[in-house]
Amino acid sequence: MSSSSIKVFSDINELSHFAAQLFSTIAAQAIANRKRFIVSLAGGGTPITLYRLLASSPYSQSLSWEKILFFWGDERCVSLDDVENSYHQAYQALLGKVPIPEDNIFRVKAELTPAAAAIDYASQLQTLAENGMRWPRFDLVVLGLGEDGHTASLFPGSDETNGVASMAVTANYQGRPASRVSLSSNVFNSARTVMFLVTGAQKAVALAATLAGVREPDNLPAQRIMPIDGNIIWLVDVAAARLLPSVIDGLIIQR
Ligand code: 6PG
């Protein structure tokens, strides 16, 4: 059974506090039920506030870090110490500040060519796969939304027909590194929970088009994210939500 919900917050701080509590709740449930919590992090600027909160009290003490396994939904193929590298961003904000075993961090090997890194990441995913799948069923996937409707590194017009777990892509977006590796929507859609974090007036058009516009997933890749048997939770701020109608497909927007 899948469900969707949208919650609107006054700003990124209020949103990130809610997201941190949700992350903690989902982690506790996963660890209680399956002895581990497998999460995919997002790059970009929006989730940094969340990551910093998780690295601080109470979460830094309350989360069972040794039972949490970190992946990324996508990565920019730049060196590990490049500020644009998503692993680097998460390490600075969170991973380097809490006791996470190194073996629990599954980063994209950005030092390889994008094609080789995509193949390597697919094999890393397979190490945690169960029930005949080629990737793990993520307990939580954190995603952002670009102004063009992209998510992870699934950009407008990108092709996903071959059903692979991860792929090399080239994307020119806001001057960010172009060579990337992205998980496919297949992987995201097998997750138990997908949590989108979207803030800022500059995202309002993309958010309204994605949630309330014509269905066109080729051009609006975030529309491809529809968990088969999972929940999708949109955490947005007032500025990003300003063009949303009050009701979307029977879905109440919780303001
Ligand atoms: C990335 C992300 C990308 C991001 C959106 C939103 O590596 O950049 O995976 O999909 O989530 O572009 O980015 P902001 O949070 O910076 O607006």
pLDDT of residue 225: 98
Residue 140 CB–ligand 1 contact under 6 Å: no
Sequence ranges of the domains in the chain = 11-185+214-229
pLDDT of residue 165: 96
CA distance 26 to 192: 10
Centre of ligand 1 from the C-alpha of residue 152, in Å: 6
The residue among 200, 201, 253, 202 whose CA lies nearest residue 49 is: 200
Residue 146 CB–ligand 1 contact under 6 Å: yes
The residue among 21, 8, 27, 42 whose CA lies nearest residue 225 is: 42
- pLDDT class of 236 with cuts at 50, 70, 90: very high
| pLDDT of residue 111 exceeding 90 | yes
Share of the chain above pLDDT 90, in %: 93
- pLDDT class of 36 with cuts at 50, 70, 90: very high
- pLDDT class of 245 with cuts at 50, 70, 90: very high
Centre of ligand 1 from the C-alpha of residue 198, in Å: 10
Rg (Cα) of the chain, in Å, rounded?
A: 17
Q: Which residue's CA is the closest to the ligand 1 atom numbered 3?
A: 152
CA distance 142 to 23: 9
CA distance 115 to 46: 27
Residue 136 CB–ligand 1 contact under 6 Å: no
Centre of ligand 1 from the C-alpha of residue 143, in Å: 8
CATH of 11-185+214-229, one of 3.30.390.30, 2.30.30.110, 3.40.50.1360, 3.30.2130.10: 3.40.50.1360
pLDDT of residue 37: 98
Predicted model pTM: 0.98
CA distance readout (Å), 78 to 176, 235, 254 = 10, 29, 39
